[in-house]
Structure 1
Amino acid sequence: MILYPAIDLKDGQAVRLVHGDMDQTTVFNDDPAAQARAFVDAGCGWLHLVDLNGAFAGTPVNAAPVEAILKVCPVPAQLGGGIRDMATIEAWLDKGLARVILGTVAVENPALVRQAARAFPGQVAVGLDARNGRVATRGWAEETDVMVTDLARSFEDAGIAAIIYTDILRDGAMKGPNIDATAALARAVSIPVIASGGVSSLADLTALRDTGVIAGAISGRALYDGALDLAQALRMLAEPGPQA
């Protein structure tokens, strides 16, 4: 299982929110590129980047810090937030991003997801953010009646690289991930599922890994707060777990 350290970008800084609320912001680093280098130095194999302003604006806002991260970090990075058209997808991939994450458009324009996945095999992921099993869009500000599992299944034949599943009520709250819901989603589809939201301890990572069906986990606040040591977590995940 891959561990993705998260760098959430707001106004050019690395921050974390609670429950996706832009008014509940903690700034952890004024230099996101330096933060990314620290994660790479600890041994991570991927980075997870989010343009929080972009998620609300519907267009990239924190392009400068993302580009700075891409220049100094040798590991692949995935980015979500404000990526809602083919031109933006192509532009980011041309700049060296390994994978784009499409969230709002997965609900509002699923045809774009399919088009992008065909055009850029292995480089398009879908971000499914949910409250009580229902998908939320536009920076989590709007809740839909679409169920996460139904939307995920609709992309089974699209060729997307991964689904990033975030339980909004767990995100940034240090209360542990929704393991049951994430594992249920992973079992419902053949697409690799990455857990996000509330991943805050070695025990959380062990529990996610030991489901045998979850491909990755994203952690942010716990790494910044010191509740989770990245190097230690990566060593633990390198050890074989039980088979599903």
Structure 2
Amino acid sequence: AAMEDPDLVKGAAKDFPGGIVVAVDAKGGMVATRGWAETTEVSVADMAKRFEDAGVAALLFTDVGRDGMMKGCNIDATVDLARATDIPVIASGGVRGIADIHALNVHARDGIEGVICGRAIYDGSLDLGAALAVAEK
């Protein structure tokens, strides 16, 4: 919706201040849409900048080439996005263990606000308690 109907998202952000998160799925640094089946010619940073004044709570950034693969989170791309916008960024896609949490935590001041850890928790390669302890620091 953010890519195809940005006015809808901006309106929702206005109606629900702090309650809207914009998902930014990426392939090779470009926004992916329609269940990751299509890749646009819009960079993730350009997409994020479209919503800086809209009042969205955060950007949920997923490097789709890593999602569910446990290859490690794309730290560089996530941090680059966080530095390119004033909207907080939630990392997603590929977290494999506590090292990813540590690496993202170092960049909290750059705008990394959180991380989604799905498969790594389910598979037991990431202890949720340990991850939360790192995040709280």
TM over 0.5: yes
Match of 2:96 among 200, 222, 239: 200
Q: Matches of 2:21 and 2:106 in 1, distance apart?
A: 23
Which of 179, 190, 195 matches 2:86? Answer: 190
Q: What TM-score do you get using the length of structure 1 for normalisation?
A: 0.54
Shift of 1:119: 0.5
Partner of 1:220: 118
Greater strand content: 1
Question: Structure 2: how far apart are the matches of 1:236 and 1:179?
Answer: 16
Shift of 1:236: 2.3
Runs of 4+ residues over 6 Å off in structure 1? none
Q: Equivalences for 1:223-234 in 2 at 5 Å?
A: 223-234=121-132
- CA deviations over 1:144-164 (Å, ceiling 9, x no partner): 111110010111100000000
Q: Percent identity?
A: 58
Cα separation, 2, equivalents of 1:194 and 1:207:
13
Alpha-carbon offset, residue 229 of structure 1? 0.8
Aligned length: 135
Matched, 1:237 2:135: yes
Which of 122, 130, 136 pairs up with 2:32? Answer: 136
Pairwise mapping of residues 84-123 of structure 1 onto structure 2 (< 5 A)?
Answer: 105-123=1-19
What is the distance in 1 between the residues matched to 2:3 and 2:43?
A: 10
Q: CA deviation at 1:224?
A: 0.4
The correspondence for 2:58, drawn from 156, 159, 162, is 162
Structure 2: tracts of 5 or more residues without a match: none
Which has more radius of gyration? 1
Structure 1: which 5+ runs fail to align?
A: 1-104, 240-244
State the Cα distance separating 1:208 from its structure 2 match: 0.4
Q: Which amino acid in the other structure matches residue 218 of structure 1?
A: I
User: CA offsets, 1:61-114, max 9 Å, x none?
Assistant: xxxxxxxxxxxxxxxxxxxxxxxxxxxxxxxxxxxxxxxxxxxx1010000111
The corresponding residue for 1:175 is 71
Which residue is equivalent to 1:211?
A: 107
Using the TM superposition, give the Cα deviation of residue 226 of structure 1 relative to its aligned residue in structure 2, in angstroms.
0.2
- Per-residue CA shift, 1:186-226, capped at 9, x if unaligned? 01111000000011211100000102321110111100000
Q: Secondary structure at the match of 1:117?
A: helix
Kindly report the root-mean-square deviation, in angstroms, between the aligned alpha carbons of the 2 structures. 0.9
SS in 2 for 1:108: coil
